[in-house]
Amino acid sequence: MKIAFIGLGAMGGPMAAALLKAGHEVTGFDLSDASLKRLEEAGGNRASSAKDACNGSDALVLMVVNAMQAQDVLIHHGALDSLPDGGLILSSVTMPSAEAERIGGDVAASGRLFLDAPVSGGAVGAENAALTFMASGSDAAFAAARPLMDAMGKHIFECGDAPGAGSTMKMVHQLAAGCNLAVAAEVMSFGTHLGLDPRRVLDVLNVSAGGSWMIGNRGPRMMTEGTEATSAVDIFVKDLGIVLDAARQNRFPVPVSAAALQVFLGASGAGFGSLDDSQATRFYEVMGGKRVRQEE
């Protein structure tokens, strides 16, 4: 297939490379020249705009930050009109379910297919073509997107027959991920504050009942400067904000999520929002004065 790919960052770049490896022709666009160079080195083509990337393409994969960027790409920058009738938009954007429903409705009204298919797995999952897709949409959209998701992912879950359910599943997932990460930051920071070696805290947790995937994955990075972000602190500010907005709209209590959001807001407000999300520990470092980070 001829595929347009918009959003070639830490996850989007490896996802586009996986499509190329699977034999698809990929033309990409990103505001970062370095990202476009990496796409070319992997065998892809550089486009001068989102609209240009979609010209002659069968499908568009969207891997931008939020619903507003997705709307800009599709409508204001002409990507939707550049796709042929019946063309596919595979949206892996994390957004509120209502936004996925609205954008999906606009795409359907234009005569194209839309699959609401956010992902989990981070940069490592993208590099290993082992992402988890949480997807919802019509049978036709699933059929068109299946070869692309198979090329980029390991687990594909069908969450519903219309856009919105995939984004709801991603929101629930991010609730779990964000709360787990906030706990990981707190336990590593509290142990350090009480005089324990953070490396020893991590060693114990990794073989005990108090451990978790997040502690095992992010714990080692908490002891670094976190300047190479695979997922930034501000991503969880956004994603847990989506959780709280949905909870308020549905009159459902999420006290643990609300508390977790404060950790990421604290780290972001202290100036660390663009660092790796493991640096949620910076919130506690500022508050308690003890460094989890280790000297090189």
Residues with a catalytic annotation lie at 170
Residues 230, 236, 239: CA angle, nearest 5 degrees? 120
Distance CA 81, CA 35 (A): 25
CA 50, CA 100: separation in Å to the nearest integer?
Answer: 20
| 163 in Cβ contact with 104 (< 8 Å) | yes
Amino acid at 179: C
Which residues pair with residue 86 across a beta bridge? none
SS (H, E, C) the chain: CEEEEECCCCCHHHHHHHHHHCCCEEEEECCCHHHHHHHHHCCCEECCCHHHHHCCCCEEEECCCCHHHHHHHHHHCCHHHHCCCCCEEEECCCCCHHHHHHHHHHHHHCCCEEEECCEECHHHHHHCCCEEEEEECCHHHHHHHHHHHHHHEEEEEEEECCCCHHHHHHHHHHHHHHHHHHHHHHHHHHHHHCCCCHHHHHHHHCCCCCCCHHHHHHHHHHCCCCCCCCCEHHHHHHHHHHHHHHHHHCCCCCHHHHHHHHHHHHHHHHHHCCCEHHHHHHHHHHHHCCCCCCCC
